Structure 1
Amino acid sequence: MSSPFRRFVQIGRVALINYGPDVGKLCVIIDVVDSNRALIDGPESVTGVKRQAIHFKRLSLTDHVVKVPRNARQTLLTKAVTTADVKTKFANSAWGKKLAAKQARANTSDFDRFKITVLKKRRNHLVAAETRKLVKAANKKK
């Protein structure tokens, strides 16, 4: 019987911080402190996350893994993250696209929301008109 889990806490696992001052930023697990905490690093020059111990509840594990040794130094970690192109890969994933769309919606102005509402009404009107045509055509065939 196979395990339902696919993402494991491991050295080099890329994670998304889901709580605290660095929420929404990517980091790399570089060591496991105990059963509740991990030592993470951004590195700061790439993602803006400083090296720190963080609780597992504040991390969401991604599918991406960077090949780094345990307690990797800043320069080695920076090189590994940039060559693996972690930020671009995450941004192109479904999860990253969903977060980007959520961010874009949060940054809209009142007028942008009004324009979206008008476009939705227009689309719904066109869909309803096509549906009426198809139903009328189907009823004529009977």
Structure 2
Amino acid sequence: MPFQRFVETGRVAVVSDGPNKGKLVSIVDVIDQTRVLVDGPETGVPRGQIRLSQLHLTKFRIRFPYAASTRVVRKAWNDEKINEKWTESVWAKKVASKEKRLQLTDFDRFKLRRARSRRNHIRTATFLCLRKAASRNGTLYGKKRMAKGGDKPRPGGKAKPQKAPKKK
């Protein structure tokens, strides 16, 4: 099944717009095709209706009865450890990274640029060194080639003639 995140009771979502932007909520009830009743007992979002266009559904879902009270939602939220799961998710880490980047000063951005430059220089130097070594031992293009030498047999089956040493 290609689609995994459905609008359903217990689905955890992130508010994308309004005064509670960025906070986690749980869908308590579906009002109609465009609105749902949400509750965020552990994130400080009061129970209320919100448009589906203001929500981003997550992969997390908690189990509680249909139209449960805030107390029941809070208990299910804590039992499933949604806050811990959310902070460990890639999505939350990306959001935290974006917020951290927005807080950087000019000097912090300068230091970051210099660190990247140094890292790329080290990476390039290491790559060139490895490529040179691979070229020398013949493994640059996959198969190891035979070393070039005077007394090794040639592809035609004839040995390469040896030159006589020069006399002084």
Q: TM-score, normalised by structure 2?
A: 0.76
Residue among 63, 66, 69 paired with 2:62: 66
Q: 1:84-114 CA distances to partner (integer Å, 9 max, x unpaired)? A: 1111101111112221212221222222212
Give % identity.
42
For residue 62 of structure 2, what is the amino acid of its counterpart? Answer: V
Q: What is the match of residue 3 of structure 2?
A: 5
Give the superposed CA RMSD.
1.4
Shift of 1:16: 0.7
In the alignment, what sits opposite 1:110? 106
* Larger relative contact order (Cα-Cα within 8 Å, sequence gap ≥ 6): 1
Structure with higher Rg: it is 2
Q: Distance in 1 between matches of 2:137 and 2:88?
A: 47
Q: Supply the distance in 1 between the matched residues of 2:104 and 2:3 (Cα, whole angstroms).
A: 37
Is the deviation greater in 57-66 or in 127-136? 127-136
Structure 1 moving runs of 4+ over 2 Å? 134-142
Which digits, 9 at most, give the CA deviation of each residue in 1:18-49, with x for residues without a partner? 11111111000000000111000102xx1011
Secondary structure in structure 2 of the residue aligned to 1:98:
helix
1:11 Cα deviation after fit: 0.6
Q: State the aligned residue count.
A: 138
Report the AA paired with residue 17 of structure 2.
Y
Q: CA deviation at 1:134?
A: 2.3
Match of 2:20 among 19, 22, 25: 22
Offset of residue 65 of structure 1: 0.9
Which has the larger helix fraction? 1
Consecutive unaligned residues in structure 1, runs of 5 or more: none
Q: TM-score, normalised by structure 1?
A: 0.89
